[in-house]
Structure 1
Amino acid sequence: MDLLEDKATGALAGAAVGDALGGAAEGNTPEAIQERYDGFITGIVGPFLPDWQTARPIAPYHKGDGHVTDDTLMTNALVDVYATVRDHLDAYSVADHLVPLLIGDKRWIPELESEALLLHRIFLAEKWLVARLHYGHIDPREAGVGNIVNCGATMYVAPIGIVNAGAPEAAYAEAIDVAGAHQSSYGREAAGVYAAAVAAAMRPGTTPSQVVDVALGLAKDGTRDAIDAVANAAASVTDWRGGLATLRAAVEPFDTVGPHYRAPARDARIPSRTKSIEELPIALGMLLAADGDYSESVLGAVNYGRDSDSIAVMAGSIAGALSGLAGVPRHWIEDINTGSRMDITASGPTMATVAREVWAKDQARVEARRDTLEALGAAPVPSGRN
Structure 2
Amino acid sequence: MVSQNNCYACARSTGTRFSHLREEEHKAVNKLRSKIRGAIVGAALGDAWGAPVEKLTHDEIKRLYGKIDSLNFEHYIKRSKTHGKGYGRVTDDTLMTLVLCDVYKELKTHLDAYAVFPLIKKIYFEEIWIPEYQKAMPLIERLFYPEKYIFLSNYLASKDPRSAGVGNMVNCGAAMYMTPVGVVNAGDPHRAYNEAIAFASSHQSSYGLEAAGVFAACVAAAFIPNITSMEIVKTAHDLAKDGTKMAIGEIISAAELVKPGDDVVKTFHEVLAKYSPVGDDLRRESENVGAPTEKYIPSRLKSIEELPIALGYIYLYGEDFYKALIEGVNSGRDTDSIGTMIGAILGCLHGVEVISKNDIETLKKANKYDFLKIADDFYSVVKDIHASDEKYFQQVKAVRDKLSIEGERHA
TM-score between the two structures when normalised by the length of structure 2: 0.87
Larger Rg belongs to:
2
Q: Residue 366 in 1 paired to residue 388 in 2? A: no
Secondary structure at the residue paired with 2:175?
coil
CA deviations over 1:19-54 (Å, ceiling 9, x no partner):
0010011001111111111x111111111114579x
**Structure 2 unpaired stretches of 5+:** 1-28
Q: Work out whether 1:177 is the aligned partner of 2:198.
A: yes
TM-fit CA distance, 1:172 = 0.5
Name the amino acid aligned to 1:65: Y
| Aligned equivalents of 2:337, 2:281: Cα separation in 1 | 17
- Report how far residue 371 of structure 1 moved: 2.6
**Inter-partner Cα distance in structure 2 for 1:146 and 1:298:** 33
Whether the aligned pair in 2 keeps the contact of 1:155 and 1:314 (CA below 8 Å) is: yes
Q: How far apart, in 2, do the equivalents of 1:327 and 1:239 lie?
A: 25
Alignment equivalent of 1:188, drawn from 188, 209, 217: 209
Q: 1:40 aligns with which of 67, 73, 96?
A: 67
Looking at secondary structure, tell me which structure has more helix per residue: 2
Q: Which amino acid aligns with 1:226?
A: A
- 2:332 aligned residue (278, 302, 305): 305
Contact 1:239 1:289 in 2 (8 A): no
Return the alpha-carbon distance in structure 2 between the equivalents of residues 120 and 345 of structure 1: 26
Aligned-residue offset at 1:157: 0.5
Cα offset, 1:330, TM superposition: 1.8
State the Cα distance separating 1:338 from its structure 2 match: 1.0
| Matched residue, 2:267 | 246
CA contact under 8 A between 2:179 and 2:344: conserved in structure 1? Answer: yes
Q: Secondary structure at the match of 2:381?
A: helix
Deviation of 1:203 after TM superposition, in Å, equals: 1.4
2:232 aligned residue: 211
Instruction: Report if aligned partners of 1:13, 1:344 keep a CA contact under 8 Å in 2.
Output: yes
Question: Matched residues in 2 for 1:144 and 1:368: separation?
Answer: 34
Aligned mates of 1:370, 1:175 — CA distance in 2 = 25
Which deviates more, 272-281 or 285-294? Answer: 285-294
In the alignment, which of 92, 109, 113 is matched to residue 70 of structure 1?
92
What amino acid is aligned across from residue 115 of structure 1 in structure 2?
A: A
Whether the aligned pair in 2 keeps the contact of 1:240 and 1:286 (CA below 8 Å) is no
Name the structure 2 match of 1:327.
354
One-letter amino acid of the counterpart of residue 301, structure 1? G
Shift of 1:262: 1.7
Displacement, 1:304? 1.1
Structure 1, unpaired ranges of 5+? 54-60, 382-386
CA offset digits 1:177-218 (Å, max 9, x no partner): 011000000000110010000000111211011101111110
Farther off after superposition, 213-222 or 42-51: 42-51
Q: TM-score, normalised by structure 1?
A: 0.92
Aligned to 2:31: 3
Measured on the aligned residues, the alpha-carbon RMSD in Å equals: 2.2
Contact kept, 8 Å, 1:292 with 1:322, in 2: the verdict is: no
Residue of structure 2 equivalent to 1:57: none
The answer on whether the counterparts of 2:74 and 2:80 sit within 8 Å (CA) in structure 1 is no
The Cα offsets for residues 279-315 of structure 1, whole Å up to 9 and x where unpaired, read as: 0000000111213311111111211110000001001
Q: Is the 8 A contact 2:280 2:333 kept in 1?
A: no
The answer to whether the 8 A contact 1:240-1:300 is kept is no
Alpha-carbon distance between aligned partners in 1 of 2:319 and 2:254, rounded to the nearest angstrom: 16
Superposed, 1:111-126 pairs within 5 Å as 111-126=132-147
Please list the CA deviations of residues 38-73 of structure 1 after superposition, one character each: whole Å capped at 9, or x if unmatched.
x111111111114579xxxxxxx7111211000000
Q: Give the corresponding residue for 1:199.
A: 220
CA distance in 2, matches of 1:272, 1:250: 17
Query: SS at 2:273's partner residue?
Result: helix
- What amino acid sits opposite 2:216 in the alignment? A
